[in-house]
Amino acid sequence: MENNIIIKFQHVTKTYHDDLVLDDVSFELERGKFYTLLGPSGCGKTTILRLIAGFTEATKGEIFFDGKKVNTIPPNKRKVNTVFQDYALFPHLNVFENVAFGLRIKKFKQKIIEEKVKEALSFVNLSGYEDRDIKQMSGGQKQRVAIARAIVNEPDVILLDEPLSALDLKLRTQMQYELRELQRRLGITFVFVTHDQEEALAMSDEIFVINEGKIQQRGTPLDIYDEPINRFVADFIGESNIIKGKMIEDFLVEFVGKQFECVDQGIRANESVEIVIRPEDIEITTLEKGKIHGHVQSVLFRGVHYEIVCQDITGNEWLIHTTKKAFVGEEIGLFFTPESIHVMRLGETEEEFDLRLQSYSEDQTNE
């Protein structure tokens, strides 16, 4: 397993002056996978990229690349390339020379440069664009030139810092697909930074959800979506109903004044918890069949579904995505299965949280 690890962070901390930006972060990245660092602005995503690339140094902890410690190794000695948000292309050079730039610095022979640039441009579907001026290229095309420039040196890892954020929605969706395909074909590790959760869910083998300099959870998109480890992740990824409750015993939880079967265990009896139920996991039904009742507050038609907000007897608001229509003021039944109830602990100590995070990550790696 170890030699499949391309990057390893061991207890890495980064401070700028007195500001703690990364707080004791440890993780391993495997070769050939698509990783996404996801989190709100300022949470430390770019700092992780900069540490991998060697643009900044860790204050504490160790960083390994392919098994070797690289803390003080300069960027040009690491087999990493970065695609920046603004592409950072040279406007006075044509497409060919932009892609060839790094190879020229490394003093490759002209013939080799031509072969490598040609191959890189063909990978990003830009064959024939060699002589084009950068200024004549569209946003999506510039993006592809930047990617060609990143892959031409055959790095082990490509870092992408919000590379799609300047594109309009349609092009962005197309480039998401293209990037994912490209990563599969190249078999290189991609570390992609975004604050867009839909983008992260659509593209990644694994997502790292980051907040305030700490990894909150790492896992496949499905794991992160279905089993958020805490309120931050549940709130940040997708839409959720988060309701206060109490654990009664293993597989039994109480909320809205009633007890419900669930699939969670190992939480102390009587411990305060929060319940997460996704809006699409709730069905609208009759009052007899409904597990709880709600008064419809608003109904919005969203094309593929209705977005219904209703209020239960204890005042919680519930968001429901359903293809069934309901009417404002109507009383409806809400039905959900034990599997769609996800229980999150409150009042967990930092040590308990770290242990749980570790076991989640180990489950992931063992799968």
Q: Please report, as ranges, the residues that interact with ligand ATP according to CB under 6 A.
A: 16, 19, 21, 39, 41-47, 195
Residue number of the CB closest to ligand ATP reads 46
* CB closer to ligand ATP out of 39 and 102: 39
Counting every residue written for the chain, the total comes to 367
Give the Cβ contact number of residue 12 at 10 Å.
Answer: 22
* CB closer to ligand ATP out of 3 and 41: 41
Could you tell me where the DSSP H helices lie in 212-261? Answer: 221-226, 231-236
- With beta carbons less than 8 A apart as the criterion, state whether 85 and 166 touch: yes
Give the Cβ contact number of residue 215 at 10 Å.
Answer: 23
How far is the C-alpha of 225 from the C-alpha of 76, rounded, in Å?
Answer: 37
* CB closer to ligand ATP out of 87 and 336: 87
Q: Smallest distance, Å, CB 240 to ligand ATP? A: 22
* CB closer to ligand ATP out of 19 and 168: 19
Q: Smallest distance, Å, CB 14 to ligand ATP? A: 8
Q: Smallest distance, Å, CB 102 to ligand ATP? A: 24
* Residue partners of 353: CB distance under 8 A and separation at least 6: 229, 230
* CB closer to ligand ATP out of 115 and 198: 198
Residue 37's SS3 state is strand
Report CA-CA distances (Å) from 7 to 63, 99, 308: 7, 26, 45
Report CA-CA distances (Å) from 202 to 34, 61, 169, 176: 11, 32, 14, 8
Q: Smallest distance, Å, CB 140 to ligand ATP? A: 22
* Residue partners of 313: CB distance under 8 A and separation at least 6: 256, 257, 292, 293
* CB closer to ligand ATP out of 19 and 288: 19
- Tokens representing 30 are 């495997």
* CB closer to ligand ATP out of 81 and 194: 194
